[in-house]
Amino acid sequence: MKDARGAEHWMLLEGGKDHRPDVPYASRFESLGLQLPERRLTTRELLESTTHHPDIDLETLTGIRERRVCSAGEDSFTLAVAAARDCLAHSRHGSADIELLISASISKYKGGLRQQLEPPLSLAVKREIGAHAATSFDLSNACAGMLSGVFVLNDYIRRGVIRCGMVVSGEYISSLDWNAARQIRSIWSKQLASLTLGDAGAAAILERAPDGNPGITFAGFTTLAEHSRLCLGGPAKVGPGLEMLTKARTIHRVAIEDSPPLLADALAETGLRLADVDHLIMHQTSARAIRKGAREFAARFGMSPKHVVENVAERGNTASTTHFVALYEYLEARRFKPGDEILLLSLASGLEVGVVIFRMDELVDHYGHAH
């Protein structure tokens, strides 16, 4: 595609105000929220529950020691609502300030393992948190869902359509773990990736950035549809909920092969080099995949970001929420400082490649020991 200046791009993109003078405003992350279930499920416990007891050292293979999973009374809706409330608790905005609410989860369970598609989950969430004046809709884009919601909100805010919006996701995907555990027989199973999943809720409020604050400087997405059948989901054959069939090695290989030109495009739009990125947060699938991807990027670009975030050991792959679980927990640990360049890279089934780049600001003051 071409941007307003006629430049060719691989991605559907929305640069920041400094890079797109035809838009009047910039947007920024104003607050984040998180909700994790209390129950912890270790990788050892999950493998001990398997029906066929395959000989797999999953913890060594993935770097995942445990994940959080829902108990009775928890589901996509409750996780999303709790994360949204936590987001508001860290915000200067009230629920009445939310003009647009986007629910971006893959799972849409409400009242247990019952998918609620209509009325949309976003309507239930906005009513529960009191955002009655907000326009709302659901958006699903596999594990890129929350970043896709950021892309939409960023565009609405930059063009002056709204001043403040929220994207929220509650991922109750642990039924995939349990259904895979009943069927998996070997390391070659297409359900192996399902054993890495965990549940989480996350939310983010975006607002119009103050003058002089660059906020989100880039948001871009592209779909490589020739890889769309490498990960497929559907109703489970052995239990309630869903099952997922993934050619995990292939999807990781093509993601790493095809994403560098898109990443280069994003960096060029902002004038950054990969070495200028303070924190690269990739989709948190497994420690091995993250480290291999980082090595490949270093080889392709001849440089590395200052830090590559790895957050899977105690969380697992939480689907559309992974980037925001990592962001929130790094904020709580005081790992960011104002001025840091943060790059969020989504490599989601489809194959969807998304990049969001933003500059950290006083958001750091609302989390951790200073809060």
Please check whether residue 216 lies inside any domain of the structure: yes
Q: Provide the number of structural domains found in the chain.
A: 1
Please check whether residue 358 lies inside any domain of the structure: yes
| CATH code at position 329 | 3.40.47.10
Q: What are phi and psi of 261, to 5 degrees?
A: -60, -35
Please check whether residue 234 lies inside any domain of the structure: yes
Please check whether residue 7 lies inside any domain of the structure: no
Please report, for residues 62, 182, 246, the alpha-carbon distance to residue 286 in angstroms, rounded to integers and kept in the order given. Answer: 5, 22, 14
| pLDDT at position 369 | 65
Please check whether residue 1 lies inside any domain of the structure: no
CA distance 97 to 87: 13
Please check whether residue 339 lies inside any domain of the structure: yes
Helix (H) or strand (E) holding 293, with range, is helix 287-301
pTM, entire model: 0.93
CA distance 242 to 228: 18
Those residues of the chain that have pLDDT short of 50 are: 1-7, 370-371
Please check whether residue 5 lies inside any domain of the structure: no
Please check whether residue 2 lies inside any domain of the structure: no
List, for residues 160-204, the tens digit of each pLDDT value: 999 999 999 999 999 999 999 999 999 999 999 999 999 999 999
Q: What is the domain range of residue 299? A: 12-370
CB–CB of 190/245 below 8 Å? Answer: yes
